Structure 1
Amino acid sequence: MGSFAIGEREFLLDGEPFRIISGALHYFRVHPDQWADRIRKARQMGLNTIETYVAWNAHAPADGDFDLTGGLDLGRFLDLVAAEGLYAIVRPGPYICAEWANGGLPAWLFRDGAVGIRRDEPRFMAAVTRYYEQLAPVVVARQVDRGGPIILVQVENEYGAYGADKSYLRKLTELTRRIGVTVPLTTVDQPLDDMLDRGSLPGLHKTASFGSRAAERLAALRRHQPTGPLMCSEFWNGWFDSWGGVHHVTPADQCARELGELLECGASVNIYMFHGGTNFGFTNGANDKGTYRPIATSYDYDAPLDEAGDPTAKYWAYREVIGRYAPLSDDVPAAAAPAPAFGVRLGKVLPLWDVLDRLGKGSEHDEPPTMDAAGQSAGLALYRTEIDLAGPGVLHIAEVRDRAQVFLDRQALGTLEREHKDRSLALPAGARGVLELLVEDQGRVDYGPRLGEPKGLIGPVTVNGEPLRRWEIRPLDLVTIPGITEAFAARPPEEVTVLAGPAFAEAEFDLPAPGDLFLDTSAWGKGVVWINGFCLGRYWSRGPQQTLHVPGPVLRPSGNRLVVLELQASGTTQVDFVPAPRLGPLEE
């Protein structure tokens, strides 16, 4: 058993001064069979600690559920950290931001419209209490004073940028202690006076988040906390990418210089990110500061360890800097070999319209409900009604969240995009028949006042000013794509010459050599890819990323099945795997 404490100027591990040199690694963004590899490479870079958020919504996709299996087995992840001789910092939120859907808050929290998030509101605190109690058996037993790796637990996350409810922070602190957490508790905020004032309480150790000008920012932190160790618990060494933008990079020599300045000040550090990983499935967040921008599938973050787990120039630059202040191991990661490059062709196509019954059941409503009201927390839903126009028509929707493809009798009429603030679409004169809107939740806002907003069609929906009535909504299960494999199996092989969406297509391939793959999506439009039932996430010709990372553990030597849902159209039926990731044009 050990001990960890806040000293007069330093952290104390078993009574001795200890500088935390940590890196962020989110277990929920990495395939579980690759956790050990990433953790080992953290030690090899010179880190002594791993930090992770806990994504509440991943563990609790439905009220009453709490999943700690497979890629959500936080206990196994922490045990692997300990096995590598490293310590751990756990940040359970309940809000985490992290460019993750809803900032980690479950969508079901918001369905009654009355829950007051991130404040001392009874329904929210009751839900948080259940969450912490479900998490407690994993975290409490793995604290350093019980022989485990956990040395710090964070309360909330950058709360000073959001609110100022001290009662909420006190109750969250009391709850954290009540479930059995005994290690020191921390908060994190940007080192600005107002944020540091709002974001913490006496008894919680303040840390800061920044990526440059370490001496200046640590001095601001010291003004608010005269004693105790200085720590930057989010040392930003890169940035995330959004669809339609560029791939953000920060030069390795600049990052190494900034890290050196921070360590020269005697501070502890958590590098955000050490390894970013991937927003698999439909887990990416979004930002909305006047314009909605969904975050890309890759969470490479220009981190020292790239999306595929390979060391970058930044890795080696950081290792050299860390070596001036802490001992380094003799072993280093092996150089990465190029991934296998090969191609196959799509062999079968299934129009989405042909398999709707396999993907979910519809429900009828007088007015179009939100996707949330229909029980859909991520992905796509199909809205359907009928129209009968005598002349020209204009479809108008108060707000689309986030993208709606519009069809009349299965013929495409156009697309309405939230990012472009589209709300209206011309209909053919005399239009008559079934009007369908395929609506995509492109990612839930993860930061700011729009947390928890519902998705889908936000009414009213009108044609020529008259409300449309009698709607059906069908949430589509695109997590497990039930029945799609069977539907393909029942279909004879065919020569696929075009891929006009919305449609599923399938290819089968053997693996030339073990390891990860990079799927080239540059010639495709917009959609989602699964391999052997594992959802790699979204692609979009808008970029910046042009490949999807395929973790080696989801592959098998032969008979791999790739399924793509193309929503728009593809200029090719070729499926290519390339030797390295292509994350798009760089930030200038």
Structure 2
Amino acid sequence: MSESTPAAGPEAASVTATPASRFAIGAEQFELDGEPVRILSGALHYFRVHPDLWRDRIRKAREMGLNTIETYVAWNAHAPHEDEFDLSGGLDLGRFLDDVAAEGMHAIVRPGPYICAEWDNGGLPSWLFTSGTVGVRRDEPQYLAAVQRYLEQLAPVLVPRQIDNGGPIILVQIENEYGAYGSDPVYLEKLVAMNRGIGLTVPFTTVDQPTDEMLANGSLPSLHKTGSFGSRSAERLATLREHQPTGPLMCSEFWDGWFDFWGAHHHTTSTAQSAADLDELLALGASVNIYMFHGGTNFGFTNGANDKGVYQPIVTSYDYDAPLDEAGFPTSKYWAFREVLAKYNPSIPDARPSAAPSAPAFRVPLTASLPLDAATNLLGEWVTSDELPTMDALGLFRGFALYRTEIDTTVSSASASALPPVLELGEVRDRAIVRLNGVTLGVLARDHHDRRIALPAGARGTLDILVEDQGRVDYGPRIGEPKGLIGPACLNGEPLHRWTVLPLALDDLSAVTDALAATTASVAASVAGALAGPLAGPAFGYASFDVDPGADLYLDTRDWGKGAVWVNGFNLGRYWSRGPQHTLIVPAPVLRPTGNTLVVLELHAAAPTASFVASPDLGHTDF
């Protein structure tokens, strides 16, 4: 039998970790305490799921027939600034891995440092790039020094949770699809040494798309190669076998769906075809990691973006058309995959997760508004600069910044002042609302390659430019680029100086929420306390509501323009009328029975009502 067509492998063994267990890469199969074992894994990113829901999602993976959970580690989530490293709340990786172990599952950890994952900046911290001289994903001293610190900060979480120490971790991945980016074996060797140096003893792997070039450039002879693909399993395993002549074959990213961009359609894949491709893969004896088993949500401002000539920011939902939907309920793909996995896992549980119920549907009025201009004193400190600073230069790595300067075009010559003046910027990253004396003049959008806008003839007064970072590029050479306005800024060809900039502090909206709640209380005697008309942005809107505990909600954003929403201070993420996504999920653990607060930052205009609907609307598809 040829190496490119391996025989069906062993059945899935029990994977409950025990003290002093040993996981190894054998000559033909993965081995657990010397016995052959097949990895049946599913991807579940702890940072995309509310921590109180981790255990539920992991259990449902086991009930589908999986025996392992895989997760990336998002470096920039844990280290939003150079002097921080957060392992609390939704970033408590140790708790997540303990939940994996408690459900009798193994874990594969992919700490990067680069992860892609359609995540902001591919997981690399933006502060890493502020020196302007760092060289990422290669053998460069500044970068490797930062990676060393990162791995040392992860060590207390990962090392004691390896299977050698009675924990769930059986494999750790080095880098991520590196063959699609570069070819620097010295860099990979140093990453291996760093990971071993912090105390990781489990086997190391790499992953690349199964092409000769990527497999050759993305790994080392000492590392076990795996593939990433979602179809044509036999062909792709054969290519992988040419580059990995011994040991188990594994597709460590079996793509069962895809992600969405704003302004495009909602991606889905055929359930029947995906199940058939999975069956073909497993029948050939390979191990698998299903990407994604459960996608979750890009809460807050964490979504990534692509830019291959046109900038395409990724939507808030990371549903991915996965077997478990964004709210954690089984889809048709779940049941089809479960049927396939039952052929290769004789110990699949009898327990089955319940179908998705209808969510509570109701409407509540927005009862207060606060123009952004009136809230600036609640959102941080202004910074002055003679030149146009980027958001990164101001230490703001996600969200919004308000740029302000004074202009007067009436001092030009008579002939020039009769013509509409033109504002020109070097580049906009990524979307800018231009206003003069509080009146919106237009939008400059990166995806349209906008850089210029005409102002009214004789324009004078306060020029405001509200800039949104719509998500950092997560793949390719534009990783790490600064956000905000890129200079120079010119008015009729003359440079504009003397800027004041407000990096909007949106991580804690308590001051804004309190101000809105106070406004609501002061007008409670009015008709239902509701706004008299639509919310005119840029402005914050406010609502409060009660709800029975225990159920997720779906906030319908179809009648709103563009912005972000917070419920009880938790940032649900971005919405945009251009779609495809028209609902935002509100996880049940975020809610309380009474006195829930909703704050919306609307950039344009919104209906004065918050509507919750019975089911999600992620947009139109190709079908």
Same fold (TM over 0.5): yes
- Look up the SS of the partner of 2:392 in the other structure: coil
Give yes or no for the alignment of 1:91 onto 2:110.
yes
Matched, 1:552 2:572: no
| Match status 1:342 vs 2:378 | no
SS in 2 for 1:304: coil
Please name the residue that 2:86 is paired with.
67
Give the Cα separation in 2 of the matches to 1:356 and 1:372. 20
How does 1:569-584 map onto structure 2 within 5 Å? Answer: 569-570=605-606, 572-584=607-619
- Who is 1:411 aligned against? 439
Structure 2 residue aligned with 1:540, among 571, 576, 583? 576
2: CA distance, partners of 1:401 / 1:479 = 20
* Cα contact 2:226–2:240 (8 A) shared by 1: yes
Distance 2:238 2:622 in 1: 31
Q: Gapped runs of 5+ residues in structure 1?
A: none
Correspondence for 1:3 among 22, 34, 57: 22
Say if 1:297 and 1:537, in contact at 8 Å, map to a contact too: yes
Displacement of 1:251 in angstroms is 1.2
Matched, 1:117 2:136: yes
Q: Deviations over 1:471-512 (max 9, x none)?
A: 011100112124112212332234312200000010010004
Cα offsets for 1:500-558 (capped at 9, x unmatched): 00000100100045210000001100000000000000000010000000000000011
Given the alignment of the two structures, is residue 246 of structure 1 paired with residue 260 of structure 2, yes or no?
no
Say which of 184, 189, 202 aligns to 1:183.
202
Counterpart CA distance in 1 for 2:406 and 2:254 is: 54
SS at match of 2:54: helix
**Secondary structure of the corresponding residue to residue 52 of structure 1:** strand
CA distance in 1, matches of 2:489, 2:318: 36
TM alignment of 1:66-465, pairs within 5 A? 66-327=85-346, 328-390=348-410, 391=417, 392-465=420-493
What do you get for the CA RMSD once the two structures are aligned? 0.7
| Alignment-derived partner of residue 488 in structure 1 | 516
Letter in 1 for 2:560: W
Letter in 1 for 2:72: Y
Report the equivalent of 1:467: 495
Unpaired runs of at least 5, structure 2: 1-19, 411-416, 524-528
| Identical columns (%) | 68
What is the deviation of 1:374? 0.8
SS in 2 for 1:508: strand
What's the CA shift string for 1:203-255, capped at 9, x where partnerless?
11000000000000000000011101000000000000010010000011110
4+ runs deviating over 2 angstroms? none
> Please, which of 522, 535, 542 is the counterpart of residue 499 of structure 1?
535
Counterpart contact for 1:414–1:425, Cα < 8 Å: yes
Q: Which residue among 603, 609, 613 is the counterpart of 1:567?
A: 603
Say if 1:163 and 1:198, in contact at 8 Å, map to a contact too: yes
Separation in 2 of the partners of 1:587 and 1:131? 42
Kept in 1, the 8 Å contact 2:549–2:591? The answer is no
Distance, in Å, in 1 between the alignment partners of 2:305 and 2:83 is 26
Alignment pair present for 1:527 and 2:546 = no
- Paired with 1:293 and 1:516, the residues of 2 have a C-alpha distance of 29
SS at match of 1:585: coil
In the TM superposition, 1:45-60 aligns within 5 A as 45-60=64-79
**1:5-44 per-position Cα deviation (integer Å, ceiling 9, x unaligned):** 0111100011000000000000000000000000000000
Equivalent position of 2:8 in the other structure: none
The number of residues matched between the two structures is: 587
**Equivalent position SS for 1:37:** helix
SS state at 2:394 partner = coil
How far off its partner does 1:393 sit? Answer: 0.2
Shift of 1:275: 0.1
Q: 1:514, 1:481 → 2: CA distance?
A: 25
The amino acid of 2:408's aligned partner reads: D
Asked if 2 retains the 8 angstrom alpha-carbon contact of 1:287 and 1:446, the reply is yes
| Alignment of 1:518 onto 2:554 | yes
CA distance in 2, matches of 1:455, 1:106: 13
Which secondary structure does the structure 1 equivalent of 2:448 belong to?
Answer: coil
CA shift for structure 1 position 336: 2.1
Q: Secondary structure at the match of 1:141?
A: helix
Distance 2:186 2:270 in 1: 42
Quote the Cα distance in structure 2 between the aligned partners of 1:279 and 1:430: 44
Whether the 8 Å CA contact 1:359–1:482 is kept in 2: the answer is no
Q: Determine the C-alpha separation between the residues in 2 that align with 1:290 and 1:495.
A: 45
The alpha carbon displacement at 1:398 in A equals 1.2
Deviation by residue 1:364-409 (Cα, 9 ceiling, x = unmatched): 1111100000111000000000111132200111100000000001
Contact 1:45/1:319 (<8 A) preserved: yes
- The CA distance in 2 between the partners of 1:530 and 1:485, in whole Å, is 10
Secondary structure of residue in 2 paired with 1:108: helix
C-alpha separation in 1, matches of 2:549 and 2:148:
47
Equivalent residue, structure 1, for 2:5 = none
Counterpart code for 1:580:
S
* TM-score, length of structure 1 as denominator length: 0.99
TM-score, L = length of structure 2: 0.94
Classify the secondary structure of the residue corresponding to 2:63.
Answer: helix
Instruction: Supply the AA of the counterpart residue of 2:583.
Output: T
- Name the CA distance, whole Å, in 2 between partners of 1:478 and 1:238: 32
**Which amino acid in 2 is paired with 1:34?**
L
